[in-house]
Amino acid sequence: GFSWKLADHPKLPKGKLVAMVVLDGWGEASPDKYNCIHVAETPTMDSLKNGAPEKWRLVRAHGTAVGLPTEDDMGNSEVGHNALGAGRIFAQGAKLVDLALASGKIFEDEGFNYIKECFANNTLHLIGLMSDGGVHSRLDQLQLLLRGASERGAKKIRVHVLTDGRDVLDGSSVGFAETLEAELSDLRSKGIDAQVASGGGRMYVTMDRYENDWEVVKRGWDAQVLGEAPHKFKNVVEAVNKLREVPGANDQYLPPFVIADESGKPVGPIVDGDAVVTFNFRADRMTMLAQALEYEKFDKFDRVRVPKIRYAGMLQYDGELKLPNHYLVSPPLIERTSGEYLVHNGVRTFACSETVKFGHVTFFWNGNRSGYFNLELEEYVEIPSDSGITFNEQPKMKALEIGEKTRDAILSGKFDQVRVNIPNGDMVGHTGDVEATVVACKAADEAVKMILDAVEQVGGIYVVTADHGNAEDMVKRNKKGEPILKDGKVQILTSHTLQPVPIAIGGPGLIAGAGFRKDVPSGGLANVAATVMNLHGFVAPDDYETTLIEVVD
């Protein structure tokens, strides 16, 4: 029968403190002035790279190695932390939605049948990120959903868009708006009343995460549900173009707007009887809106009017909370994660990050599961992030505080594993501010040093890696790797990358002879869990991706 008990590792001892450090958005790329990690002073990470060759290597962090549809898909924090924590590669949301759309199964399952009930007499609303980034959503999936729903009886459809510029180039929202508008116009020519109803930039409207700032969700609610926003336009293409003319405007932070008819009336507030689908497949930035749409009891902001709707998520975003109750595609079933195994084997675990990445080392790490496995053995510490700023204004973020809390946890002797995410490279990298990202990388390196110093003091072991690339390349390049010029200027890359990430092991607790094997050259993030289990003195379960380490006598 099944057992949580892990076998003893034949050579590696138990009882050593293991520090599992994840630098967010920290890939490996050639030295270059747009490689902020290279430009920044990063003595700690440099010393790991330049140390013993069997203690440092690269691992894959994008594409099929993390369960994404193709090798052109950049890595992201959800799939990266899922892989790190679960030790196996699961087909992720992006791919599951592709498959369900291709087979048509999405239109046969419970979720779609549930919302379909509204099609005869009411409006279908689709809310989500208008992007082809493939991190939270994809425009081609929205297009297929629009077509499929209209072929199955939806007569009135309203789309509520969030502009991206974070997983894709800033300014690309204009092209996406045109593509979407053409799709809707095609539906209109077939007699379907289909329009965009509202919008706003993803970082200012709706897509907050981990409850950092409910105001963001409220701004979206006002536009999407109440039909109220500071700006009104005739259509989404006009909206995006006009709002981008404001100096300093960018896709990520466009203010909320509604589309209004000739008489100035918003075309698509959400009312009783309507159906709503949030079409993002990724969870973290949809769960707050999902709560506002679904929960009867809700006190995070004044919803003013709470329409009685049929609501479905593209996926179920939180399996533990069953949020939302209805969904179009079943999420990957990520069970028996390394965190759960280790806790069952007595490993006392501490996890920490600041708010904007807190769920990454808890929720995503544990297979999109909220809460603890065992309250007695685990402690998760969230350091409040600054809110209402863009992180290039505070590129050091809370790296120091994360370092201190983690150091204290290590020195306390109360834990066998400390797991931490250091967000700077990613969060500041996403702003596209190259100078600030250099400061961010330095701060991240300093936090790593604090943690490694504490590991040294207690005779522990460290594993330092990253979830995907970002700060190591801040410019859009051609196939030859040269920056692409547009109007004589380079195009700043705010998104993640396809680069591999480093992984380093070491510390006084690592026994002599332990190091990376040579026979897993294409190893990826999913190989890390078995590696960490080994460092705790256990052999990983058979179905886990193989360990990256060996012990030579």
Q: Residue numbers of the site for ligand 3PG (CB under 6 A)? A: 24-25, 76-78, 135-136, 166-167, 285, 426, 430
- Apex CA 312: angle with CA 307 and CA 318, to 5°? 110
Angle, in degrees to the nearest 10, between helices 173-189 and 236-245? 160
Give least dist CB 165 to ligand 3PG, A.
Answer: 10
- Count other C-beta atoms under 10 Å from residue 174's C-beta: 15
Q: Is 77 a catalytic residue?
A: yes
Report d(CA 217, CA 202) in Å as an integer. 10
Q: Which is nearer to ligand 3PG, 181 or 284 (CB)?
A: 284
What's the number of CA atoms in the CB half-sphere (13 Å) around residue 421?
Answer: 30
In which residue are the tokens 């549809």 written? Answer: 69
Burial class from Cβ neighbours inside 10 Å (0-12, 13-18, 19+) for residue 458 reads: middle
Structure tokens at 324: 């939302």
Burial class from Cβ neighbours inside 10 Å (0-12, 13-18, 19+) for residue 226 reads: middle
Which among Co ion, ligand 3PG, none contacts residue 285 (Cβ within 5 to 8 A by kind)?
Answer: ligand 3PG
Which among Co ion, ligand 3PG, none contacts residue 93 (Cβ within 5 to 8 A by kind)?
Answer: none
Which among Co ion, ligand 3PG, none contacts residue 166 (Cβ within 5 to 8 A by kind)?
Answer: ligand 3PG
Residue least distant from Co ion (Cβ): 426
Give least dist CB 353 to Co ion, A.
Answer: 13
Residue least distant from ligand 3PG (Cβ): 77
Catalytic, out of 3, 30, 47, 77 = 77
Classify the C-alpha dihedral 349-339-68-504 as positive or negative: positive
User: In this structure, which amino acid lies at residue 106?
Assistant: I
Give least dist CB 188 to ligand 3PG, A.
Answer: 31
Q: Which is nearer to ligand 3PG, 369 or 430 (CB)?
A: 430
Q: Which is nearer to Co ion, 98 or 426 (CB)?
A: 426
Burial class from Cβ neighbours inside 10 Å (0-12, 13-18, 19+) for residue 84 reads: buried
Residues with Cβ < 8 Å from 263, sequence gap 6 or more? none
Structure tokens at 53: 């060759």
C-alpha distances out from residue 33 to 390, 466, 468, 524, Å: 23, 21, 20, 27
Pairing of strands 18-23, 327-329: unpaired
Which among Co ion, ligand 3PG, none contacts residue 222 (Cβ within 5 to 8 A by kind)?
Answer: none
Count of all residues that appear for the chain in the document: 553
DSSP state of 484: P
Give least dist CB 440 to Co ion, A.
Answer: 12
Report d(CA 412, CA 314) in Å as an integer. 43
Give least dist CB 433 to ligand 3PG, A.
Answer: 15
Structure tokens at 521: 């050259």
Give least dist CB 360 to ligand 3PG, A.
Answer: 7
Q: Which is nearer to Co ion, 95 or 166 (CB)?
A: 166
Q: Which is nearer to Co ion, 426 or 446 (CB)?
A: 426
What's the number of CA atoms in the CB half-sphere (13 Å) around residue 456?
Answer: 6
Pairing of strands 514-516, 549-551: antiparallel
Give least dist CB 93 to ligand 3PG, A.
Answer: 12
Measured distance between the N- and C-terminal CA atoms of the chain, rounded to whole angstroms: 35
Which among Co ion, ligand 3PG, none contacts residue 416 (Cβ within 5 to 8 A by kind)?
Answer: none
Binding site for Co ion (CB under 5 A): 426
Element (H, E) at 489: strand 489-490
Q: Which is nearer to Co ion, 213 or 426 (CB)?
A: 426
Q: Which is nearer to ligand 3PG, 154 or 162 (CB)?
A: 162
Q: Which is nearer to ligand 3PG, 167 or 378 (CB)?
A: 167
Which among Co ion, ligand 3PG, none contacts residue 135 (Cβ within 5 to 8 A by kind)?
Answer: ligand 3PG
Give least dist CB 223 to ligand 3PG, A.
Answer: 20
Element (H, E) at 312: strand 310-315
User: In this structure, which amino acid lies at residue 372?
Assistant: Y
395: preceding bond cis by omega (within 30 degrees): no
The residues annotated with a catalytic role in the active site are: 77
